Amino acid sequence: MRHSAPLSLSPLRKAGLKSTPGRRAVLSVLAKLASPASADQIYTKVGTQTCDRATVYRILDSLDEAGLLQRVIVRGKKLYLPEEPSHHHHHVVCRKCNSTVCLDQCLISPLEKKARQLGFHSIRHTLQLTGLCSKCTTST
Amino acid sequence: MRHSAPLSLSPLRKAGLKSTPGRRAVLSVLAKLASPASADQIYTKVGTQTCDRATVYRILDSLDEAGLLQRVIVRGKKLYLPEEPSHHHHHVVCRKCNSTVCLDQCLISPLEKKARQLGFHSIRHTLQLTGLCSKCTTST
DNA sequence: ATTATTGCAAACCCTTTGCAACTTA
DNA sequence: TAAGTTGCAAAGGGTTTGCAATAAT
């Protein structure tokens, strides 16, 4: 008799990715973020001795591919934040201080539906709202 | 008596930007795009003798700032497409061949409203839908 | 045992910058 | 004339790559 699958697979295994120390560390760092962080900031938070910078980039790619994080662009730079597969939603990010607030919803499905009708499949989306938060009241 | 304003200002002048050959050329290239293009592709289409590559980057920045183009990220790369200020909407871009289709609507305003209620202002958004078009039927 | 993942270090590419010259309004 | 814009060329930063070694299933 074969082993039965564990009752709850880690998010990584569910996504078909191997569970490595680097990936677990990156996921853990993402989960604790107060606001979106750059690849390099994540590399630092993970601990530069935990894994190589290049590996962090590869990990972020694999997690993105697996839908385990959200990538947003603020001021032209890529930032990463965690994604809970069970509750997809979006955020506003302050263009000045990167502070972030959940908007708790995703209103994209009608657009996805239309895209599907137009022959597209494997549809993904990224929505980025940016603004200036109340603490950063300034122009532009 | 002073000169009265022209009946119709160019989009550039309306945006408070000076009308230069480079900007006009970039706008014209954008308007003719069949699918989103990278800064470098735009530089090539504009004609490398028309203006410098660095200038194209500066122009794209100013047009983005002015809301005269849309910037999207496909496969992690920045691509540009035209934006008609009178009719803001979104697109699906094929992750394989970059082909693009209009979705004709923007459903973001409820999210923007909520962000405003949370103290954000000067809100902007970028929405990117990507998928695989019918011609590129493949996995992933 | 097989396949995926990582480290290392170099290469790459995209993008930005400073400054003087030149346009545009 | 004043302010904004451009060219040039060089620097900068973020990101990717190849390959051998290593770890996960």
Instruction: Enumerate the domain spans of chain B.
Output: 10-138
Sign of CA dihedral B34, B80, B125, B68: negative
CA of B83 vs chain A CAs: smallest distance (Å): 17
pLDDT value of position B28: 97
pLDDT in tens, B16-42: 999 999 999 999 999 999 899 999 999
pLDDT value of position B8: 67
Tell me which residues from 71 to 100 on chain A have a beta carbon below 7 angstroms from nucleic acid strand D.
77-78
Q: Which residue is nearest to nucleotide D22 (CA to C1')?
A: A20
- Closest partner residue to B115 among A78, A92, A108, by Cβ? A92
Give the neighbor-by-neighbor strand order of the sheet with A121-132: A100-102, A91-94, A121-132, B121-132, B91-94, B100-102
Q: Which residue is nearest to nucleotide D15 (CA to C1')?
A: A57
Cβ contact A92–B134 (<8 Å): no
- Closest partner residue to A115 among B76, B103, B114, by Cβ? B103
pLDDT value of position B9: 75
Q: With pLDDT > 70 as the criterion, what percentage of chain B qualifies?
A: 91
- Closest partner residue to B132 among A121, A128, A131, by Cβ? A121
Chain D: nucleotides under 7 Å from a protein CB? 4-10, 14-18, 23-25
The fold of the A10-138 domain, in CATH, is Arc Repressor Mutant, subunit A (1.10.10)
Those residues of chain A that have pLDDT short of 70 are 1-8, 137-140
Nearest to B74 by CA among B101, B56, B92, B61: B92
Cβ contact B78–A78 (<8 Å): no
pLDDT value of position A140: 38
Cβ contact A112–B129 (<8 Å): yes
- Side-chain-side CA neighbours of B96 within 13 Å: the count stands at 14
Q: Between residues B140 and B107, which one has the greater pLDDT?
A: B107
B89 touches strand C (CB under 7 A): no
DSSP code, position A104: -
